[in-house]
Structure formats: C-alpha cells, structure tokens
C-alpha cells in the first residue's frame, strides 16, 4: 500500500515538474526573469536585502542582487521594486531636487557599466500626496510617476529653485530593471544604486508637477503582429499586447512599445490629450526615455509650429545601447498653453539589420501653480 502511494506520488511529482517545465520554457524572457529573480531572492541564493542610507540630504537605495544570465532587451530583465520614504521618522516637508541611478558591483562599491540599466521608475501615491494638500480632484487624473531614468539618461537635477515637495514619511515607490543588450557570456550579478537628492523646506522653492507624454501607435487587434499595411503605414507591431496597450476614444488599440524594422523611420503622435493642461504654465525640465536606435525625440508646439526641445540620442557604434540622451533644464522655463496642440516626433535609424523594440516618452516637469498656492500658506511646525 505504502509503495503504491510512493509510486503515485513520484509519478505525480514528475508530471507536475514536466508540465511546469514546459510552461516555463514557453514563457517570454521577461516572465522567466521574474520567476528566476523570485526564486533567487526567496531562497536567498543571492543577496536579497536592500541597503538604504540617508546621508547629506541624499537618500541612497541599493537593490538586492540581480542576476543577468542572458541577453535582456528593454523591459525584459530581472527587476525589483519596493516602497520607501525619504525619512519615515519625520513628517518634515522636503523637496526632491535630483535623481541618479547607476549599476554597481555586488560589493556595493565598484561602478559597473550603466548598460545594465533598463529603467528606474519612481512613483508617488497620488492619494496620499494630493489628499494631504486638499487637492483631491487630482487623484487618479494621471499615472503618478514622479520620474523615470533610463539607459543614456541616468542622472539629472531640477533647475535651481525647483523641486517636488514630499513629507519625510510620505510613500514613494521604486521599480528598477536590468538590461543586457550585448554580453552573452556566463551569468553575472549587478546591483542598482538609486540616489535621490533633497533639500529642506524653503519658502523660496517652487513646485514642479510631472506629466508623462509618450508616442502611441495604432495596431490591428485581430492581427497584432502583422503589418503595417499600405492603408495604415504608421501602424505598429506591438512587442506584446498585454502591457503598454491603450484604447483611444474611437476604440482603436494603440501600443506604446512597438517593433521597429531595419532602416530609417519617422513617427509622430499628438500628445495634447496626455498633457491635460488646465491653465498656461511653464515647462522647466524634460527627461527623455528612448530605446537603442532612436536618434531624436522632438517636442513640438503644433499650433505655433515651433520646436520646444529636441532630445538627441547618441548610440554606441560598437555595440547596442544608448551612450547619452540629452535633457532639457531651464529655470526660466518655456510657456505651454491649454489651447495649443503639442506633438512628439521620433526619428529612428535601426542599423542592426534585425527588428528592434522601441518606446519614446518624455517626462515633462511643469511649474505647479495650484500646489504653490497651498505651499505658500504652509506653516512649519
């Protein structure tokens, strides 16, 4: 009897392992990376702890170890995420003024190539953030992304006198993902170090509000991976339809992460509805997120037919990756108007000879007059 139970148990286990193995092998790289990272961290196969320090008005978060064991294109690599606070022990108001992400060795000292950074996103919880200042109508209006740093644009400061106000114990959320376009050798390990610079509250500081604008392209939901067609040459092939897919008011499906074919291509997209400007305001900083083989991303005022800023992406010539992506920063700012139309224009030159994936976003930091009014009345305890 016992041997029968043992026999069936072993058989069941073998079937479960086989089914699980087949399921795993058929998963896309990004899902495999999630499983591998979860196993590594849950069982302590690699360092699974965060090292968080706060010194000299800089909050530093060093991630658990991330194992890079194959080529990982954008949005595919091992990633970690966690909530954090600038200083959970105080409710003092501070101003976030700078951001930095870098790849480091597992000894948490030696710098590694930033080629291993896909992106580092920092979000805030809009409920907590806006409710505290009695700006409840803003909750849920925009995705509450404070900023994103990515390969080629790993560090930036707001112009002097500007920042994003948060209380010390306010919840922020960090998500950071690895990238590996080139190294096919044995697995290796990296960590990411994220530094947020902040300043104590001062009445002279002016608040910025982040708005994300990005190119979305239509695709055929019946045949998402076929096209583009002669009738719709601007159609894209989404990388996958599960993420970064949206519907517009006409019910058309759009993707913000798509395939680019070898050669040159120009894409444009009207982003007026993404900006949702209520009033005229000034634009003070732009951080751009692009993928390799992008050459430029331009923010244009369509109404005035003027270029506000062209972000130039410098690609490596000897490997795949972005060496540098230029950003915009101005204390004086550029006026944006609610009755004007704006668009993003992307120029791509895919010299790889094979299909590549693409995203094109700008994180626009606008002067936040409504928040400034609340801050002017704020009394420090």
Partner 1 sequence: MKQLQFILLAIVLMGCQSNVEELPILSYKINSEGEKETYSIKYSNFKDQDGLHVSAETIQNKIIVANFFFTRCPSICPPMRTELIKVAEEFITNDAVLLISHTIDPKNDTIEVLKNYSEATAIPNHKWLFVTSSEENTKHLAAQFMTNFKPNEDGTDFYHSSYIALLDHNQNIRGFYNSLIPEEVTRLKKDIKTLLTSIN
Total number of residues binding partner 1 (CB under 8 A)? 27
Query: Nearer Cβ to partner 1, position 81 or 111?
Result: 81
223: which residues sit within 8 A by CB, 6+ positions away? Answer: none
Binding mask 190-229 for partner 1 (x = CB under 8 A): ----------------------------------------
Q: How far apart are CA 69 and CA 78, in angstroms?
A: 10
Select from 250, 248, 244, 254 the least CA-distant residue to 220: 254
Query: Nearer Cβ to partner 1, position 171 or 330?
Result: 171
Determine, following the binding rule CB under 8 A, whether residue 81 of this chain makes contact with partner 1. yes
State which of positions 166-195 bind partner 1 (CB under 8 A): 169-171, 173
**Residue 372 burial by Cβ neighbours in a 10 Å radius (0-12, 13-18, 19+):** middle
Three-state SS for 326-367 is CCEEEEEEEEECCCCCEEEEEEEEECCCCCEEECEEEEEEEE
Collapsing DSSP states into helix, strand and coil, what is residue 258?
Answer: strand
Stretch that binds partner 1, among 23-31, 131-139, 278-286, 347-355 (CB under 8 A): 131-139
Strand ranges of the sheet holding 217-218, from the earlier edge strand across to the other edge: 217-218, 253-255, 245-247
Query: Nearer Cβ to partner 1, position 140 or 187?
Result: 140
Query: Nearer Cβ to partner 1, position 4 or 376?
Result: 376
Determine, following the binding rule CB under 8 A, whether residue 378 of this chain makes contact with partner 1. yes
* Interacting residue with partner 1 among 50, 125, 316, 337 (CB under 8 A): 125
Q: How far apart are CA 351 and CA 374, in angstroms?
A: 50
Determine, following the binding rule CB under 8 A, whether residue 82 of this chain makes contact with partner 1. yes
Query: Nearer Cβ to partner 1, position 9 or 88?
Result: 88
**Residue 149 burial by Cβ neighbours in a 10 Å radius (0-12, 13-18, 19+):** buried
Q: How far is the CB of 198 from partner 1 (least distance, A)?
A: 17
Q: How far is the CB of 165 from partner 1 (least distance, A)?
A: 11
Q: Where are the alpha helices (DSSP H) in the chain?
A: 2-25, 29-42, 126-132, 272-275, 369-377
Query: Nearer Cβ to partner 1, position 198 or 309?
Result: 198
* Interacting residue with partner 1 among 10, 11, 20, 132 (CB under 8 A): 132
* Interacting residue with partner 1 among 85, 113, 272, 301 (CB under 8 A): 85
Q: In Å, how far are 102, 132, 350, 357 from 324, measured between CA atoms?
A: 14, 38, 17, 18
Query: Nearer Cβ to partner 1, position 91 or 355?
Result: 91
Determine, following the binding rule CB under 8 A, whether residue 140 of this chain makes contact with partner 1. yes
Structural contact between residues 358 and 293, judged by C-beta atoms closer than 8 angstroms = yes
List interacting residues with partner 1 (CB under 8 A).
81-83, 85, 88-89, 91, 125, 127-128, 131-134, 136-137, 139-140, 169-171, 173, 374, 377-379, 381
């Amino acid at each position: 009897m016992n041997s029968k139970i043992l026999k069936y148990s072993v058989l069941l286990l073998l079937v479960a392992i086989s089914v699980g193995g087949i399921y795993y092998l058929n998963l896309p790289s990004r899902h495999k990376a999630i499983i591998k990272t979860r196993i590594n961290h849950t069982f302590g196969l690699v360092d699974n702890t965060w090292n968080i320090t706060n010194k000299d008005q800089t909050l530093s978060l060093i991630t658990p170890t991330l194992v890079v064991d194959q080529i990982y294109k954008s949005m595919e690599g091992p990633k970690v995420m966690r909530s954090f606070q600038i200083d959970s022990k105080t409710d003092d108001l501070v101003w976030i003024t700078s951001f930095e992400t870098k790849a480091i060795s597992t000894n948490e000292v030696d710098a590694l190539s930033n080629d291993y950074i896909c992106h580092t996103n920092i979000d805030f919880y809009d409920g907590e953030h806006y409710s505290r200042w009695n700006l409840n109508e803003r909750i849920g209006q925009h995705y509450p992304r404070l900023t994103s740093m990515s390969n080629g644009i790993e560090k930036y400061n707001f112009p002097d006198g500007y920042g994003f106000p948060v209380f010390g114990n306010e919840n922020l959320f960090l998500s950071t993902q690895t990238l590996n376009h080139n190294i096919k050798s044995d697995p290796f390990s990296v960590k990411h170090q994220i530094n947020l610079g902040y300043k104590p509250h001062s009445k002279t500081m002016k608040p910025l509000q982040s708005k994300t604008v990005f190119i979305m392209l239509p695709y055929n939901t019946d045949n998402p991976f076929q096209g583009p067609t002669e009738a719709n040459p601007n159609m894209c092939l989404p990388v996958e339809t599960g993420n970064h897919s949206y519907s517009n008011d006409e019910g058309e499906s759009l993707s913000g992460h798509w395939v680019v074919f070898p050669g040159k291509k120009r894409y444009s997209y009207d982003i007026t509805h993404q900006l949702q400007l209520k009033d005229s305001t000034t634009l003070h900083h732009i951080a751009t997120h692009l993928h390799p083989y992008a050459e430029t991303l331009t923010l244009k005022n369509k109404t005035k037919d003027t270029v506000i800023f062209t972000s130039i992406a410098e690609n490596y010539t000897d490997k795949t990756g972005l060496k540098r992506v230029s950003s915009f920063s101005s204390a004086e700012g550029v006026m944006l108007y609610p009755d004007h139309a704006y668009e993003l224009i992307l120029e791509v030159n895919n010299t790889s000879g094979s299909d590549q994936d693409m995203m094109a976003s700008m994180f626009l930091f606008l002067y936040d007059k409504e928040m400034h009014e609340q801050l002017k009345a704020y009394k420090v305890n």
